[in-house]
Amino acid sequence: MANSKVNHSPQKPGANNNTAAMGEGQGSNKLQRKWEVYPGRNKFFCNGRIVSSPDIQGFLCCMALIIVTDCPYLAVKVHPVIPVVGGVLFILIIGCLVQTTFIDPGIIPRATLPEALETDRLYQLECQNQENAANNGAYQPPRYKEVMIKGRQFKLSYCQTCQMYRPPRASHCSRCNNCVERFDHHCPMVSNCIGKRNYRYFYLFVTFTALMCCYVLGCNVAVIVLRAKDTDIGEAFKKSAGSIIEGVICLGCLASVGGLSCYHSMLVCKEQTTNEDIKGTYNPRKFKDASNPYSHGNFITNCCAVLCGPRHPSLIDRRGFVDPSEDTQAIVDTANARGRIPES
């Protein structure tokens, strides 16, 4: 499903001819790419090749904290292997952070005008057939659809912003103003939504960060212990002031990142998302049939499916060109067009 240019005002007859005439007089008009007119709040870089959320400041802050707290200590040559291991962890952390921030998390394209009108028409017909239009035939917005997935019934909510029924496990992010597949949460520290296409990188990022905190903390303790053997303990602490400060920082990071890594490890083993866990989608206390149709039966298969499965292609054509002649495919509010829907 491809996105197109947003156009809220109808064109007058002959407007295309006037535009063409102006283009012939001024030279060929530059075609816009779809990311330039995309209706969401995301930021695009490198001519649409990279996508991120509007709060890119969180990514820059997170990057600065990693560089300032880790890199100086890794240069201390306690043993030739120690800086190498620390450097490898550092590269893995930065790589996963960049992947998490600048990959399309699984944005679902918004409905085009014909698709939104068809959805409204079918819903109105359904209301008329079921005699549910109680307000003298007044328009009622679509609410939800019911689907069966492996024997369990799910409700697909209708998104008023994207003008479509959201797929299972999808949710609308109010910060990015997009519906995201397998929506987990919006993370301001990595400046992106966590969804179907970048969840594995987010999980590896927090896991490698927790390992790095443990690694650096262990090195700090080892330095203090080795210095205490040569001198008294008070002198060792004086000489290791930098290691103590770094150890305190690592303890603080480990308290938050370590807990987050353990929590997401539990979710990966169950093949669940943070959004589903908070809502209690598979909680037997809330639902009689609380089975998870997406689970593969055991935690090993679930981990392989989440972390080692193929990365799905992006659904939005960010770098495609906008066709000025395809105004009927514009993404608009269908409130002005509902009067044109024929009644049966």
What is the dihedral angle through the alpha carbons of 311, 312, 314, 315, rounded to the nearest 10 degrees? -170
pLDDT of residue 202: 94
- 209 and 284 both lie in a single domain: yes
- 152 and 199 both lie in a single domain: no
- 275 and 159 both lie in a single domain: no
| Alpha-carbon distances of 275 from 30, 51, 173, 260, rounded to whole Å | 42, 22, 11, 14
* Angle, helices 81-102/199-230, rounded to nearest 10 degrees: 150
Residue 338 pLDDT exceeds 90: no
Residue whose C-alpha is closest to residue 204's, from 276, 299, 310, 97: 97
Least confident of 79-93, 132-146, 210-224: 132-146
Q: Is 308 a catalytic residue?
A: no
Contacts of residue 184, defined as CB under 8 A and 6 or more positions apart, other chains included, come to 193, 194, 195, 199, 202, 273, 274, 275
- 9 is a domain residue: no
Q: Taking residues 146-155, what's their average pLDDT? A: 84
Averaged pLDDT of the chain: 74
**What's the CA gap between 166 and 175, in Å, rounded?**
17
**What's the CA gap between 5 and 7, in Å, rounded?**
6
Ramachandran assignment for 149, one of left (phi > 0), alpha (psi -120 to 50 degrees), beta (any other): beta
| pTM passes above 0.75 | no
- 236 is a domain residue: yes
- 125 and 271 both lie in a single domain: no
More confident residue, 261 or 44: 261
Q: Taking residues 262-276, what's their average pLDDT? A: 94
- 90 and 207 both lie in a single domain: yes
Q: Taking residues 111-124, what's their average pLDDT? A: 82
For residue 154, what are the β-bridge partners? 147
- 89 and 217 both lie in a single domain: yes
Structure tokens at 294: 């997406």
More confident residue, 311 or 245: 311
- 88 and 196 both lie in a single domain: yes
What is the dihedral angle through the alpha carbons of 233, 238, 242, 244, rounded to the nearest 10 degrees? 40
- 155 is a domain residue: yes
- 148 and 250 both lie in a single domain: no
Q: Taking residues 196-202, what's their average pLDDT? A: 93
Structural domain including 143 reads 110-166
pLDDT of residue 130: 63
What is the dihedral angle through the alpha carbons of 64, 70, 244, 251, rounded to the nearest 10 degrees? 80
Reported as a single tens digit per residue, the pLDDT across 1-32 is 334 333 433 444 444 444 433 444 344 467 77
Q: What is the tally of structural domains in the chain?
A: 2
Residue 327 pLDDT exceeds 60: no
Choosing from 162, 187, 250, 253, the catalytic residue is 187
